[in-house]
């Protein structure tokens, strides 16, 4: 699968963002560090961002690996992209300047470049470049050293469209479940907010945020991975066939509807009219709300239909994928 849900959490009562009630110190500006670094890395890697939510001591990312884009990159483009992250060794630098003197040198240089190409489509390298950068910047600001994140990030493979949509909604609903936002429209630093407003934060915050903004963003910002469920979007995307296979309006309707119920704790008072995407997924309202509330807590490793899980287990050399069956039962 090209889709993965990734989570990282801070250690030692460290605050990623927001206001630390223990010390009274505000780290709200770090949210913009995260957004800018996230988009910067998406522009460098052959990886797209489907959804995200930046919380006070953890964050969620739903990522899409674009193998087709990665294979179409020229060797020179691979070097350029990798050079924005790490220094280029002298051998590759001489290859770029056509100063190598033997077939052996050319082969060695190309082996290094091919290794970089693999890394540009690797979730682990994306997350490494993301977390290390934020950790160094936060530790410098806190005037301390040591671990900032709880070890390696956690990830879930999203094996089908139902798992992808459910996970994205779960991620976008994080601020509402945590009672720090009342609606999708006010859930700053989430992908749903960015899709609705075109930015991750309120305009009135822009002056303050600019003071702590990252620098040297050399690539044009890559937008979030688009929805291609609408006919006109499908027509414009007919050549690439790349995108989330649902309508953006239907998705926003579903997340907004879910958020209003979760925020108001209306268990047993669910409106009779429910979003049409639920019909497409084959889920009833109560099952969907249960999934949207607990997706990240209930599932590990991989999520999808029974058929997709069986294929994934065989591909990864496992006898079976340990996971609850609620999503699979409800979607059949």
* Half-sphere exposure at residue 222, Cβ-oriented, CA atoms within 13 angstroms: 20
Largest Cα span, the chain? 75
Phi and psi at 263, nearest 5°, equal -65, -40
Residue 161: predicted pLDDT = 87
SS3 269: coil
Give the span between the Cα atoms of 94 and 105, in whole angstroms: 9
For 186-206, how does the pLDDT look when each residue is reduced to its tens digit (9 = 90+)?
899 999 999 998 887 765 554
Q: What are the DSSP E strand ranges found in 121-267?
A: 154-158
Bridge partner residues of 97 (DSSP) = none
> What tokens were used for 75?
């060797």
Give the span between the Cα atoms of 247 and 233, in whole angstroms: 9
**Residue 195 near residue 248, CB atoms below 8 Å:** yes
Residues whose CB falls within 8 Å of the CB of residue 227, separated by 6 or more in sequence, listed in order:
233, 243, 244, 246, 247, 248, 251
Residue 296: predicted pLDDT = 65
pTM: 0.83
SS3 299: coil
- Domain borders along the chain are 3-68+122-212+221-330, 74-119
Question: Which segments in the chain show pLDDT lower than 50?
Answer: 206-215, 217, 231-239, 266-269, 323-326, 328-329, 332
Give the span between the Cα atoms of 149 and 151, in whole angstroms: 6
Residues whose CB falls within 8 Å of the CB of residue 255, separated by 6 or more in sequence, listed in order:
169, 172, 173, 184, 192
User: What does CATH list as the number for 3-68+122-212+221-330?
Assistant: 3.30.70.1290
Give the span between the Cα atoms of 38 and 58, in whole angstroms: 14
Residue 218: predicted pLDDT = 55
Quick one: CA dihedral 302, 225, 211, 29, positive or negative? negative
Residue 253, CA distances (Å) to 22, 274, 286, 291 in order: 37, 9, 17, 17
Residue 207: predicted pLDDT = 44
């Amino acid at each position: 699968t090209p889709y993965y849900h990734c989570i990282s959490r801070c250690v030692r009562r460290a605050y990623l963002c927001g206001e630390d009630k223990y010390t009274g110190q505000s780290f709200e500006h770090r949210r913009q560090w995260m957004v800018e670094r996230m988009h910067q890395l998406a522009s460098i890697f052959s990886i797209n961002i489907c959804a995200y939510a930046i919380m006070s001591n953890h964050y969620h990312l739903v990522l899409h690996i674009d193998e087709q884009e990665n294979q179409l990159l020229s060797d020179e483009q691979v070097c350029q992209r990798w050079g924005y992250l790490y220094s280029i060794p002298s051998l590759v630098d001489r290859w770029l300047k056509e100063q190598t003197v033997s077939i052996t040198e050319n082969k060695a240089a190309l082996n290094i470049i091919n290794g970089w190409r693999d890394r540009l489509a690797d979730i682990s390298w994306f997350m490494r470049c993301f977390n290390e950068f934020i950790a160094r910047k936060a530790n410098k600001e806190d005037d301390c050293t040591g671990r900032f994140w709880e070890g390696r990030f956690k990830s879930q493979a999203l094996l089908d469209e139902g798992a992808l949509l459910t996970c994205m909604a779960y991620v976008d609903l994080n601020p509402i479940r945590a009672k720090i936002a009342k609606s999708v429209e006010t859930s700053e630093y989430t992908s749903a907010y960015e899709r609705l407003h075109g930015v991750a934060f309120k305009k009135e915050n822009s002056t303050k945020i600019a003071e702590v903004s990252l620098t040297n963003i050399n690539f044009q910002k890559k937008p979030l991975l688009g929805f291609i469920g609408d006919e006109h979007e499908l027509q414009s995307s007919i050549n690439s066939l790349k995108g989330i296979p649902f309508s953006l309006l239907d998705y926003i309707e579903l997340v907004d509807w879910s958020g209003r119920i979760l925020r108001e704790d209306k268990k047993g008072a669910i409106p009779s009219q429910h979003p049409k995407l639920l019909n497409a997924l084959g889920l009833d309202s109560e099952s969907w709300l249960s999934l949207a509330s607990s997706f990240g807590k209930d599932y590990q490793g991989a999520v999808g239909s029974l058929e997709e899980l069986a294929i994934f287990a065989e591909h990864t050399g496992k006898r079976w994928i340990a996971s609850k069956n609620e999503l699979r039962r409800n979607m059949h």
